[in-house]
Chains A and B, each alone.
Chain A
Amino acid sequence: MVPVSTLITVLAYAVAILGYLPVAPHVDLAVRLAFPLAMAAGIVFDRKGKYPLTGIPSTIATIIPFVVYLLQLSMANPAAPVVNFLVVLLCVRIVNEKSPRNLLQIFALALFALASSSLFSLSALFLVYLFLQLALIAVSLVLLTFLSVDTRLRLTRQGLSRVVGVALAMPAASVPLLLIFFAILPRTQYPLLNFLNVPGERATGFSDRVEPGKTASVGDVKTVAFRAECPQLGRNDLYWRGIVFDALAGATWVRSEKRPDEVPAAPKGNEVRQVIYPEPSRNAYLLALDIPTRMDGVRASQGADFTFTRRVSGSGRIRYEANSVLSDAIPVPRGIDRDHYLRLPHQVSPRTAALARGFTAGTPNDDERLSRVETWFTQQGFRYATSGLAVAADPVDAFLFERRTGHCEFFASSFATLLRLAGVPARLVGGYYGGDFNEIGGYYVVTEDRAHVWVEAFIEKRGWVRIDPSSFAANFDRATPSRRSFATKLAAFADSLTWYWNQAVITYDLQKQVELVRRANRQFRGLNLPVVSRWLLPVAGGAAAFAVAVWWIVTFGGSTHEERLLRRFRARIEKSYGVPRNHRSRGLKELADMVNDPAVTEFAAIFGGAIYRDRRLTAEECRQLSLLVNAIGVPVRREDDKSS
């Protein structure tokens, strides 16, 4: 035998823990520690059956944090104080007596705490917490109902299993409804709580400027930058284009405000369609495989250098489709503003200038100069590294002649500077290189540590040609790792779950709803039944109509108007006064005396007056009786009520 009260207390603690865990990383340290302490105190008090903190101590423990967090509340920081206070309230409830009212408050607060965790992160784990919590709350609510009937009730194991089984049917049966409501409930075009979800600026990874020589090392950040759904491609095709840097500000490559107009032609090559799911960021540049030609599903403006920027700023989750041409050259038949792409940094060391002069000996064409720079780079044996980097005012000089070690920014900026010094127009392209193909989901995961910078050099008749100077490093490895460990597979599986969650839930918006309706509409229109089954629909419809007609005749058919009226009358009396309608032995007069309703009495008088004198009811009587049936059970207003 299990006491129901003990069982509910245990469930309440479990529900509270499920509410606390997801918000724990986001609350203040004091609040984070207060919860386990409150749990321990609550358990001790429950065992002793005494609650010394009830009353004034609890009120003080509520009011002080309320004032503290109210003062912290601002438009810039709306979520954290509220969530902290929620956890404080939960703590206060836990240390007090577990009365039905307090238990309901614990359930509500825990549910709010879990819901508020979605203000900080919307991971798939939220769903796990939610389902667990809903299941436990459902069981608790049912047990609470038992407790309200009998406070000292004890259930046998068998009885308990029956109760839990039926209680769990509630959340289980809600799942299909949940899915339907998820699909059809109206949504806004943009997430309302977007402003709460702004992630911190990334220290490393994709950036809107290239500034080598600033730090001695760059940390590898393994956070996901974006996921791209597309067929598996060769490693050399995986250049994800984001931004083009065309100007120099000191030693820093930036994107100039006024870029020269150029008219590129459509690049030639294999077309690849991708669906990109970027992680939320403040970055306005939309990424796609080099060279992107078109983007759908997001309002974006296209630059002449095939960069796409979002018109509406926002940091919520988005998804867009991109069309790319896998090519390493952008043809610009009408040429470019060469001067703009030949501008040099203010500071060029003499040995760099001297090196560049060597590439121009004999006034070769741009193609030849490029190949000379490439050859020189290949021969130097530069090494690719993310630590032990040169920190210098002239990073190009430091990289080329001293350290000879660097990451892609050093390689690209040095290569582009040498090209410009040699008279070849050049620019840098920022984006990502590579990606891990997830075979379960059929998409690439590109992490922040794959952020990359490469060079585009302008060659007459070919256009902007892609060169990746980092590939000239002695330790550069283009080989794809062939062996996939169990841990890697597991990580891929976990990532695919997150991806499906993001795809199915987080980015499900009005647009997808409209698309769903359209698709259903299209499929319905395109429904092409074979000749044999062409008659299926009318036949099935006819059969259904026939079934309804048979039911109607069996139920109501053959009955006179009087019989139908009497059936309605008895149904109404059953509904209003609980007198079973199948109680045929009871006469109308007897019924009228029993229920003491003027409408019933009048009905009995009119109906009996006609039927017992063996005459049919007149149309007027039928109308009157019908009105009387509707009036049964409706309280009669007194005369003084009417006059007022």
Chain B
Amino acid sequence: MLEIKIHDESCRGCELCVDVCPTDVLAFDKVAHKATIQNVGDCIACLSCAFICPSGAITHSNIHHVKNFYRDLDFCRRVERFL
């Protein structure tokens, strides 16, 4: 089952993930000023929210990873060795 996690401390409350989601998976908690997950079942794993998040706070697991053949594999291997 697909899972989405928002690293709560890292959410700055910009709402951009809520705006960008095509299937209204995310909602905004005005009191806490943070994004929350509302309908995880509707997620199509487009990862738009993860890409727009300024903090890099949103992660998806159990999704089909599309092989991004346009990426430079050498650069990708390098970033795997970051401390």
Q: Do A and B bind each other?
A: no
